[in-house]
Structure 1
Amino acid sequence: MLKTYLLIMTTACMLLSGCSSRNTPAPVTSLSTGKSSSSQKIHIENNRYRVQKGDTLFAIAFSANKDVRTIAQINGIKPPYVIYPGQVIHIDRPQNKNKRRKKYTVKRNKSSSNKQKNNKIAKKELDQPKQREYVQKHSSKNDNASKALFSNKVRWHWPAVGKVTKHFSSKENGYKGLQIANVEGAPVKAAADGIVVYAGNALRGYGNLIILKHNDDYLSAYAHNSKLQVTEQQKVKVGQKIAEMGSTDASKTALRFEIRFRGQAVNPVKYLPSK
């Protein structure tokens, strides 16, 4: 009897010591987990946000209208952007108020200032050919950059069938997407190939939301769904069903579809094929 009691106590001590050996908190989401289930909505105050269970850095950046790479750089977070409950995320770089530029005044006599003006005019005349050469080289670099950007563009398709009942607005508080109305349960499809970087309901005003990453520049968002049929870190193909249309956090059954370019909402009509 005594041996059995000692054995039980030894086993219990080993289990307790094993549980207390973790030095770092568990991440919010594992790369292989399913959809997020955050208990609170994402609410950013004073350019800071404290991470809740179920959050992803992509969702926080989306809520702040920022490029996820910018926020990751500010906070020293490297890919694949794993974050932890309780971690404070800074949305903008803290400003250093102690730095003040000192102004110096230099007195110059008229003769020296006139000499300097003449020297500047002569220097400009000599530097003009070099300036033209620099502009030509720079314009060719810009042409190459625009070609590279064009080659990285995503081929977009309509994410759902239905009537467009709201259009994109460039106003500050305008609607930043397309509202496509249909019946409850209508299929919502991926507008392009990508990977699911968020699937949950922590963003205020979006209901059950899916965010897809298509490349380093483009994201797409699908809001107010009744059911989500993909999980985070899942790869999807264009036209693949990812959700069912609904009215979560909305007054009518419709899909809110957004395209983000480097964190900023852009007009989806400029990217989608004409009907």
Structure 2
Amino acid sequence: MLERMDRYLPRLAVLAATALLAACGTMRSSVVVEPVAGSDYGNPPAHVAAVPSRTPIPGGSYVVARGDTLYSIAFRKGVDFRDLAQWNGVAAPYTIRPGQRLVLSPPARATPHTATVPGHVASAPSAAAAPGRAANSGAVATAGAPVFESVTAPATSASSGPATMPATAATTPSHVATPPVAPAATAAVPVAGVPTAPPATMPPPAPAAAGVSRVVSGVQWRWPADGPVVGQFRSGDAIPGIGIAGKSGDPVRAAADGVVVYSGNGLVGYGELVIIKHNDSFLSAYGHNRKRLVKEGQRVSMGQQIAEMGSTGTTRDELEFQIRKDGNPVDPLGYLPSR
């Protein structure tokens, strides 16, 4: 009996060792390895989180001066404020400090000429909001930050469920009898010698006043001043906008609903300047004013007076008016109503 056990002991030892190794391999394969801090584990590929920048990348850096805002710096450098905020990790409400150095290009790790897709500044979700914004890029507004609502009517959400079809004859089963239609009232028979009254008709709608406003790209625009255009738009100009003539003190009005994001005189060549943000894509600017009547963070309505026309930063009384889409200057005449 002992001899038989001695004969099988080596075999049993080999089988036990094999089973132990198999069990260890099974346990090892069930362990989830957590990404190490500072490593690339868990980060999306660069090409997933990057899209072309909205504006040319100026490069270099800028030191914030007293009176600057992120919007005024982006306006001066010709970049979109969302790109500038994302490049520097500045979250809404985009607070910056004098002496702070802002880089004017994407981080070195990003693909050249690309920037991470930022979300909307507004705290309310948008149907067109781009997915995947960096955590420090200001996708969520902090407490007390002004909420910039879009002036466009909200679009119907695609996720609101299937639309209910109205009950019509087309949806009525074929076996259900259709109720008879009441016959139309017969026309009165004219009496001999009595004139017949003409049929009653609805008066035509009153025509809309020409040149008051115009909706372009979801924004309702109107002229910011009443004078003639004395300076045409040229995209290559240092100050790319149109000049509108007038007299000192003439009212300067908001061209569309929005929020004042800059009110000051820190941009060389613009004099007393007001910048209004209409939505995430559009800004408008009003320069050379004699006096500014609105403050940063103030909500204004289309047609509301925001300044008095003047000649600050120029040699004659006029309004320097600009529209920028995603940071790029565009011809205002393509957005304002015809006169």
Q: Provide TM-score, normalisation by structure 2.
A: 0.51
Matched, 1:165 2:230: yes
Q: Give the whole-Å Cα distance in 2 for the aligned partners of 1:94 and 1:250.
A: 38
The equivalent of 1:260 in structure 2 is 324
Q: Give the whole-Å Cα distance in 2 for the aligned partners of 1:177 and 1:199.
A: 18
2:74 to 25, 42, 61: 61
Q: Give the whole-Å Cα distance in 1 for the aligned partners of 2:294 and 2:329.
A: 23
Could you tell me which amino acid in structure 1 is paired with residue 295 of structure 2?
T
Q: CA deviation at 1:273?
A: 0.4
Could you tell me which amino acid in structure 1 is paired with residue 81 of structure 2?
V
The equivalent of 2:310 in structure 1 is 246
Q: Which is bigger in relative contact order (C-alpha 8 A, separation at least 6)?
A: 1
Does the 8 Å CA contact 1:167/1:175 hold for their aligned counterparts? no
User: Could you list the runs of 5+ residues in structure 2 that have no partner in the other structure?
Assistant: 1-57, 113-127, 129-154, 156-214
Matched, 1:179 2:236: no
Does the 8 Å CA contact 1:177/1:257 hold for their aligned counterparts? yes
Q: Give the whole-Å Cα distance in 2 for the aligned partners of 1:175 and 1:73.
A: 25
Query: Counterparts in 2 of 1:100-111, with a 5 A limit?
Result: none
Q: CA deviation at 1:174?
A: 6.3
Q: Max radius of gyration: which structure?
A: 2
Distance 1:210 1:174, change over 3 A: closer
Q: CA deviation at 1:151?
A: 9.0
Distance 1:67 1:84, change over 3 A: same
* Structure that is richer in helix per residue: 1
Q: Give the whole-Å Cα distance in 2 for the aligned partners of 1:193 and 1:233.
A: 13
The equivalent of 1:17 in structure 2 is none
Matched, 1:86 2:99: yes
Could you tell me which amino acid in structure 2 is paired with residue 155 of structure 1?
Q
Identical amino acids, percent of aligned pairs: 49
Matched, 1:274 2:320: no
How large is the Cα RMSD of the aligned pairs? Answer: 2.3
Q: Secondary structure at the match of 1:155?
A: strand
Query: Counterparts in 2 of 1:111-260, with a 5 A limit?
Result: 153-170=218-235, 172-173=236-237, 176-260=240-324
Distance 1:151 1:254, change over 3 A: closer
Does the 8 Å CA contact 2:291/2:310 hold for their aligned counterparts? yes
Does the 8 Å CA contact 2:216/2:335 hold for their aligned counterparts? no
1:164-197: CA deviation from partner (whole Å, max 9, x where unpaired): 0011113x23651110010000000000000000
Q: Give the whole-Å Cα distance in 1 for the aligned partners of 2:96 and 2:306.
A: 25
Q: Secondary structure at the match of 2:270?
A: coil
Q: Secondary structure at the match of 1:72?
A: helix
Could you tell me which amino acid in structure 2 is paired with residue 229 of structure 1?
L
Does the 8 Å CA contact 1:56/1:198 hold for their aligned counterparts? yes
Q: CA deviation at 1:47?
A: 2.2
Q: Give the whole-Å Cα distance in 2 for the aligned partners of 1:252 and 1:91.
A: 34
Q: CA deviation at 1:54?
A: 1.3
Q: Provide TM-score, normalisation by structure 1.
A: 0.62
Q: CA deviation at 1:160?
A: 0.3
Distance 1:201 1:224, change over 3 A: same
Does the 8 Å CA contact 1:168/1:175 hold for their aligned counterparts? no
User: Could you list the runs of 5+ residues in structure 1 that have no partner in the other structure?
Assistant: 1-44, 100-140, 142-147
Could you tell me which amino acid in structure 2 is paired with residue 265 of structure 1?
P
Q: Give the whole-Å Cα distance in 2 for the aligned partners of 1:46 and 1:174.
A: 18
Q: Give the whole-Å Cα distance in 1 for the aligned partners of 2:248 and 2:254.
A: 18
1:104-131: CA deviation from partner (whole Å, max 9, x where unpaired): xxxxxxxxxxxxxxxxxxxxxxxxxxxx
Across the two proteins, how many residue pairs are aligned to each other?
A: 181
Matched, 1:49 2:62: yes
Does the 8 Å CA contact 1:168/1:174 hold for their aligned counterparts? no
